[in-house]
Structure 1
Amino acid sequence: MCRHLAYVGDPQALGRLLTEPPHALYRQSWAPRHQRYGTVNADGFGVGWYAPGDPVPARYRRAGPIWADLSFADLARVVRTGALLAAVRDATEAGADGEAAAAPFAAGRWLFSHNGAVAGWPGSLAALSRTLPPADLLTLEARNDSALVWALVLARLRAGDPDGQALADTVTEVAAVAPGSRLNLLLTDGTTITATAWGDTLWYLRESGRGTVVASEPYDDDPRWRSVPDRTLLAAHRGDVLLTPLKHLDDEPVEDTDDAAPEEPRT
């Protein structure tokens, strides 16, 4: 469920990444090619981006489908950024949270998205929720599993954990109490992208000299797209991608090299 994408690199118009490619996030809202759970991503969307000289991102979120928002089409055409995180939300049961339930979630310099679902929600995370300060629970942006997972990640970030460790520890902790959960998490601070592949698809594209895209699925058929193995932590900068198995976080990360054979996108 859901599709998301993050980018760091040379400034690009939002539309260059989100609406113009033939299988962009915009099209994935009604015709995803790799989505294993759910069919239509029409229950909200959002994009967060960074302006030059400002470490705190701006956000634009709506409760409806991305294809119905003409204002976003204008934004995507003219707004340029060197870093963004965007998501379209899978159609689900009706709720009262509206656009507050749409990623990206934000705090300070961070943007966050969750592609997946917590098994047994909400009961499965009752014990973990009690590890959070009451103020964190009372200020959740929405009453869904993604918002609580974000609160767990954010608590670790605020305690000083590196981005990768915060995501990895949260994923393994949630998976332990809610087996069968799908926990593809995506986090950026405007300079780096950190992500987990846990139960759903994750891909990345390094555009030499321009930047790196990490996404639920490829937005075109460029043969340079590479699939991230399940149970993997990804850390990306402008031109580097490191992959670490989540079961063996003490192992040396594997750096992506251009001479490795890419996996062809499936259609």
Structure 2
Amino acid sequence: MCRHAAWLGAPRTLTSLIHEPGNGLFKQSYAPRLQRYGTVNADGYGMGWYDPDHPEPVRYRRSVPIWTDANLPALARIARSHCLLAAVRSATVGMPVEETATAPFTDGRWLLSHNGRVARDAVGDLVGDPAGGPGSGGEPAGGAESAGGPESSCDSAWLAAAVFPRRRAGLPLGDALAEVVSHAGGKDPGARLNLLACDGASLAATAWGDTLFFHRDDRPGGGVLVASEPLDERPGWRAVPDRSLLLASPGGVHVQPL
């Protein structure tokens, strides 16, 4: 399993997800409070944010424990955006520990993180082609480095490679997550499919097999936080029911069953 968090609202720094909160992702890397599977998230970490001068998000990933990167605190204090996503990783048994297996995964303006596990066979027929055409089962045509193919053999990369073609085909972000999660969950009953994705203007997340929370601050300078578990002790954190889809935009937060 893993832990992830995202912010959409007034610009703030990445350290607001990682170091500043009492239960930020730095703390969750070695002492998560609500993680149901695994006790430590030491198999890498990553973060992404949006710079108004660039069309695509900036991404930074490492395959080492977050507490070993002496450069991170300074970087996290400087990286500032209205939309942020960060994750710490606990690799599924048998999955590689490498930067290409570490969230966030990216395609165009989209960032995606996965907290959980799934059999790759459960998403293989969705990878690389939203219509399930040639090359969509097993390894995509053209190899893993081709457009739409997974960048790693890990299950999370395969989920990303199933979601991104649907987004490129025009599905709204939430619909792309819902379609992939419902399909994968139907084929792998033991799958844990908490996905968190953003495009710079909205967030979408699924709760399927593990915890998910959100906190909305409607005051000036506020916004919405979405996280595997609350980042701090403030009142107002709300649990997302299992098998639900969360959609967040500047206009509000909506939660619906999957």
TM-score of the superposed pair, with normalisation by structure 1: 0.86
Give the count of matched residue pairs.
Answer: 244
- CA drift at 1:159: 1.2
Q: Is the 8 A contact 2:248 2:254 kept in 1?
A: yes
Give, in whole Å, the separation in 1 of the partners of 2:255 and 2:242: 11
The structure 2 residue matched to 1:166, chosen from 176, 200, 214, is: 176
Q: Is the 8 A contact 1:97 1:143 kept in 2?
A: no
The structure 1 residue matched to 2:242, chosen from 230, 234, 239, is: 230
Between the aligned residues of both structures, percent identity stands at 51
- CA drift at 1:113: 0.6
Q: Secondary structure at the match of 1:27?
A: helix
Matched, 1:144 2:151: no
Q: Secondary structure at the match of 1:175?
A: helix
Q: Is the 8 A contact 2:123 2:180 kept in 1?
A: no
Q: Secondary structure at the match of 2:82?
A: strand
Q: Secondary structure at the match of 1:174?
A: helix
CA RMSD of aligned residues (A): 1.8
**Residue 213 of structure 1 corresponds to which residue in structure 2?**
225
Give, in whole Å, the separation in 1 of the partners of 2:41 and 2:69: 14
Give, in whole Å, the separation in 1 of the partners of 2:41 and 2:34: 13
After the TM superposition, which residues 46-85 of structure 1 pair with which residues of structure 2 at under 5 Å, given as runs? 46-85=46-85
Distance 1:123 1:157, change over 3 A: closer
- Gaps of at least 5 residues in structure 2 are none
Give, in whole Å, the separation in 2 of the partners of 1:187 and 1:206: 17
Deviations 1:78-111 (A, max 9, x none): 2211111110001444765511111000010000
Q: Is the 8 A contact 2:5 2:86 kept in 1?
A: yes
Give, in whole Å, the separation in 1 of the partners of 2:65 and 2:94: 14
Q: Secondary structure at the match of 1:134?
A: coil
Paired AA for residue 178 in structure 1: D
Q: Secondary structure at the match of 1:29?
A: helix
- CA drift at 1:122: 3.7
Paired AA for residue 141 in structure 2: P
Q: Is the 8 A contact 2:95 2:154 kept in 1?
A: no
Q: Secondary structure at the match of 2:204?
A: strand
TM-score of the superposed pair, with normalisation by structure 2: 0.89
33-42 or 121-130: bigger deviation:
121-130
137-146 or 78-87: bigger deviation:
137-146
Matched, 1:180 2:190: yes
Give, in whole Å, the separation in 2 of the partners of 1:92 and 1:143: 12
Q: Is the 8 A contact 1:231 1:245 kept in 2?
A: yes
Give, in whole Å, the separation in 2 of the partners of 1:55 and 1:17: 23
Paired AA for residue 102 in structure 1: T
Moved over 6 A (4+): none
- Gaps of at least 5 residues in structure 1 are 247-267
Q: Secondary structure at the match of 1:148?
A: helix
Q: Secondary structure at the match of 2:33?
A: coil
Deviations 1:20-49 (A, max 9, x none): 111001100000011001111000000000
Q: Is the 8 A contact 1:47 1:86 kept in 2?
A: yes
After the TM superposition, which residues 1-267 of structure 1 pair with which residues of structure 2 at under 5 Å, given as runs? 1-93=1-93, 98-118=98-118, 121-129=119-127, 131=132, 132=136, 133-135=140-142, 137-139=144-146, 140-208=150-218, 209=220, 210-246=222-258
Give, in whole Å, the separation in 1 of the partners of 2:188 and 2:250: 34
Give, in whole Å, the separation in 2 of the partners of 1:125 and 1:80: 34
- CA drift at 1:53: 3.6
Q: Is the 8 A contact 1:55 1:190 kept in 2?
A: no
Deviations 1:94-144 (A, max 9, x none): 7655111110000100000111101xx344444445832524744421111
